[in-house]
């Protein structure tokens, strides 16, 4: 069976070296990561198998990590993860969603078999894929093991991208530009919202002539009319676009699991003055904030710069205005590390990728215009080339 990992083994070893340094600093001898993005980051494993328990185990004094998962998925690990076959462990189907036993019983036995059950164990306490029961069973089965919270330990390593990762993110950016243009071209008065969204999801997968896209960690968010007054609703499958609809577009391109998010807004008709004013305020604030972003400044200073641009305009934005992004699986393309908001004192470094996303959701409608940027040695660089404006469309 030929390996089809995305990166050379040396790239995974580089990542593992940094993770082991962070483990040592945190007093963690063995790390259990169950976040599918972290599993992919450390091994290359890529399958839609995360609805059952699985994970990667990093051992402080062993070179290769261990993958475990459902037996029927283990060939997928042999194909996509860089490690040799003897580091891949499949468990029988009796463990799947069982009320008689639990996959963490299997994992405790595996840690014993690997001879590391007595070492301090780092687990991702606050992760979608690490349930309360998983911790309970591990504690019961490993009564002498010390547990240390390793939430976001790998996520923070992921936050600074290598040149080869940035190359894939630029490919995702090319897909993203096509996806956004497809959306804007598809939205017209009288068109069924479902048909516009169908064009968008097809563009996400078709990618460019040179390379294909992949499934997004967040499905296209493209609400219209009153549904734009809130975050995270999407299209109405039974509605057609109407005159004077606002349509929010929160979309992305994906390449090798690297995401490139982008938001824009479309108005169907002649936009009312208050929407035009909001758009001007946001776009001007966005541009001034991007000029400020550079290595050495803090996440909260970026937010403060943005907030300063709003002073006296009447526009308010009480939620965070951005976050770190990159390699992801559902349900989130954010990395859950840096947040652009008061209190986040993370100092920006070259290689970080931030989605500056000042979404405004008012009583009757919203406005979004965002930029994904790469922190460079001297400032920041837009990943995507797409006009920063309120788009207007008419239709048949």
- 332-361: which residues touch its own copies (CB under 8 A)? 332, 334, 336, 339, 341, 343, 359, 361
Measure the CA–CA gap between 293 and 309, rounded to whole angstroms. 14
Q: Cα(first)–Cα(last) distance of the chain, in Å?
A: 54
List the x/- string, 206-225, binding to its own copies by CB under 8 A: xx---xxxxx--xxxx----
What is the nearest approach in angstroms of its own copies to the Cβ of residue 381? 25
What is the nearest approach in angstroms of its own copies to the Cβ of residue 380? 22
What is the nearest approach in angstroms of its own copies to the Cβ of residue 337? 8
> Which helix (H) or strand (E) is 204 found in, with range?
helix 193-206
Binding its own copies (rule: CB under 8 A), the pick from 33, 43, 80, 263 is: 80
Measure the CA–CA gap between 347 and 373, rounded to whole angstroms. 15
List the x/- string, 50-79, binding to its own copies by CB under 8 A: xx------------------xxxxxxx-xx
What is the nearest approach in angstroms of its own copies to the Cβ of residue 109? 19
- Taking alpha carbons only, the member of 156, 185, 198, 161 closest to residue 372 is 161
Binding its own copies (rule: CB under 8 A), the pick from 44, 47, 253, 326 is: 47
Cα–Cα distances in Å, from 34 out to 51, 58, 63, 169, 255? 11, 11, 19, 24, 22
User: Are the beta carbons of 299 and 348 closer than 8 angstroms?
Assistant: yes
Helix (H, G, I), strand (E, B) or coil at 396: coil
Measure the CA–CA gap between 180 and 262, rounded to whole angstroms. 8
The residue among 16 and 216 lying less far from its own copies, judged by its C-beta, is: 216
> Which helix (H) or strand (E) is 279 found in, with range?
helix 273-292
Binding its own copies (rule: CB under 8 A), the pick from 15, 161, 227, 355 is: 227
Stretch that binds its own copies, among 156-164, 236-244, 261-269, 382-390 (CB under 8 A): 236-244
Cα–Cα distances in Å, from 221 out to 54, 215, 235, 336? 29, 14, 7, 19
Helix (H, G, I), strand (E, B) or coil at 89: strand
161 touches its own copies by CB under 8 A: no
- Taking alpha carbons only, the member of 246, 148, 147, 262 closest to residue 203 is 262
List the x/- string, 237-276, binding to its own copies by CB under 8 A: xx----------------x---------------------
Binding its own copies (rule: CB under 8 A), the pick from 60, 120, 151, 392 is: 151
What is the nearest approach in angstroms of its own copies to the Cβ of residue 196? 9
The residue among 16 and 354 lying less far from its own copies, judged by its C-beta, is: 354
Residue bearing tokens 């936009």: 271
- 284-323: which residues touch its own copies (CB under 8 A)? 318-320
- 121-150: which residues touch its own copies (CB under 8 A)? 123, 125-136, 149
If one counts every other C-beta atom within 10 angstroms of the C-beta of residue 233, the result is 16
What is the nearest approach in angstroms of its own copies to the Cβ of residue 239? 9
Binding its own copies (rule: CB under 8 A), the pick from 114, 233, 283, 310 is: 233
User: Are the beta carbons of 242 and 223 closer than 8 angstroms?
Assistant: no
Residue bearing tokens 């606050």: 126
What is the nearest approach in angstroms of its own copies to the Cβ of residue 230? 3
The residue among 127 and 281 lying less far from its own copies, judged by its C-beta, is: 127
What is the nearest approach in angstroms of its own copies to the Cβ of residue 110? 19
What is the nearest approach in angstroms of its own copies to the Cβ of residue 227? 7
């Amino acid at each position: 069976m030929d390996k089809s990992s995305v990166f050379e083994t040396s790239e995974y070893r580089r990542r593992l070296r940094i993770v082991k340094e962070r483990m040592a600093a945190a007093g963690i001898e063995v790390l259990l990561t169950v976040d599918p993005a972290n599993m992919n980051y450390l091994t290359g494993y890529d399958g839609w198998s995360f609805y059952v328990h699985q994970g990667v185990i990093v051992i402080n004094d062993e070179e290769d990590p261990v993958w475990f998962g459902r037996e029927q998925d283990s060939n997928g690990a042999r194909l996509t993860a860089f490690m040799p076959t003897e580091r891949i462990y499949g468990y029988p189907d009796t463990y799947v969603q069982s009320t008689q036993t639990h996959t963490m019983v299997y994992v405790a036995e595996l840690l014993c078999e690997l001879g590391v059950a007595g070492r301090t164990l780092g687990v991702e306490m606050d992760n979608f894929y690490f349930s309360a029961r998983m911790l309970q069973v591990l504690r019961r089965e490993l009564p002498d093991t010390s547990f240390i919270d390793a939430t976001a330990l790998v996520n923070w390593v992921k936050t600074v991208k290598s040149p080869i990762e940035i190359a894939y993110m630029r490919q995702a950016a090319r897909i993203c530009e096509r996806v956004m243009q497809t959306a804007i071209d598809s939205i017209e008065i009288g068109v069924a919202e479902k048909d516009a969204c169908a064009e968008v999801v097809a563009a996400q997968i078709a990618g460019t002539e040179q390379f294909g896209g992949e499934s997004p960690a967040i499905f296209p968010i493209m609400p219209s009319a009153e549904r734009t007054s809130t975050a995270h609703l999407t299209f109405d499958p039974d509605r057609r676009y109407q005159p004077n609809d606002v349509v929010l577009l929160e979309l992305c391109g994906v390449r090798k699991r690297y995401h490139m998010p982008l938001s824009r807004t479309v108005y169907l008709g002649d936009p009312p003055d208050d929407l035009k004013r909001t758009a001007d305020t946001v776009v001007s604030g966005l541009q001034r904030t991007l000029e400020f972003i550079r290595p050495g400044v803090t996440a909260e200073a970026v937010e403060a710069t943005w907030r300063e641009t709003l002073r006296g305009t009447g526009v308010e934005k009480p939620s965070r205005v951005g976050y770190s992004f990159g390699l992801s699986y559902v349900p989130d393309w954010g990395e859950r590390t840096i947040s652009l908001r008061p209190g986040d004192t993370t100092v920006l470094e070259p290689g970080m990728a931030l989605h500056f996303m000042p979404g405004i959701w008012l009583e009757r409608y919203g406005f979004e215009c965002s930029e994904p940027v790469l922190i460079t040695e001297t400032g920041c660089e837009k990943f995507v080339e797409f006009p920063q404006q309120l788009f207007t469309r008419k239709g048949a």
